[in-house]
Amino acid sequence: MAKETQDSEFEEKVLYINRCSKVVKGGRKFSFSALILIGNLNGKVGYGFAKANEVADAIRKGSEAAKKNVITFDMNDGTIPHEIHVSHDGAKLLMKPAPEGTGVIAGGKIRSVFELAGIRNIVAKSQGSSNPINQVRATFKALRSLMSREKSLKERGLE
C-alpha cells in the first residue's frame, strides 16, 4: 500500500487490472481497466473503476473516480454494528461483527476494502460470483446500509 503524494488523507491500493484485446485490421489492440480502492483507515473508503489504453492512465482515472465515490459508515469499536446479507448482480456477501482479537476473516478483494476502511474485527463470506468488481460493489452496498443501534432507535422513535 503506497501513500498518495497529493492527498495524504487516503491510502490507495490497486485491487485489479484487466487487459482486454480487440482484433483490428493491423493486429490486436489492447486496453486496460483498473479497480482502485482508497481509504483513510478510519471509516472512510471509496472505489473507482476506469478504462484506458495504458495501465498508468487507467490507474490515474480510477483514483480520481475513487475520490468522488468516498463513503462513510457506522462502526462499533473496529467492527460493524450488526450482521448483514447483501447481493449485487451475482455477488452475494455475508458480513458478521466479531469480538476484539478476531481480525479480518474475509477473502481477497473484500478483505482489502475492510483493511482500508479501518475495520479490525469482522467475519465475511463471499457466497456468489468471484468477479472482483461485483464483490467490491456488494461490499460497498453493505457498508452503506449499516446502521448503528442509536440511529436505528432514533429512526423508529424509541430513543
Q: Given this chain, do its domains 2-71 and 73-156 carry the same CATH topology?
A: no
Calculate the CA dihedral of residues 86, 96, 105, 141 and round it to 10 degrees: 30
Confidence of residue 8 (pLDDT cuts 50, 70, 90): low
Give the predicted TM-score (pTM) of the model: 0.89
What are the sequence ranges of the domains in the chain?
Answer: 2-71, 73-156
CATH, domain range 2-71: 3.30.160.20
Topology of domain 73-156, CATH: Ribosomal Protein S5; domain 2 (3.30.230)
If one counts every other C-beta atom within 10 angstroms of the C-beta of residue 101, the result is: 7
The answer to whether residues 116 and 11 touch, using CB atoms and an 8 Å cutoff, is yes
Mean pLDDT of 109-121: 94
pLDDT at 4: 44
Q: Which amino acid is at 86?
A: V
Query: What pLDDT, on the 0 to 100 scale, is given for residue 118?
Result: 93
Using alpha carbons, list the distances in angstroms from residue 106 to 6, 50, 113, 119, 156: 31, 25, 10, 11, 32
Mean pLDDT of the region 43-58: 96
Neighbours of 16 (CB within 10 A): 19
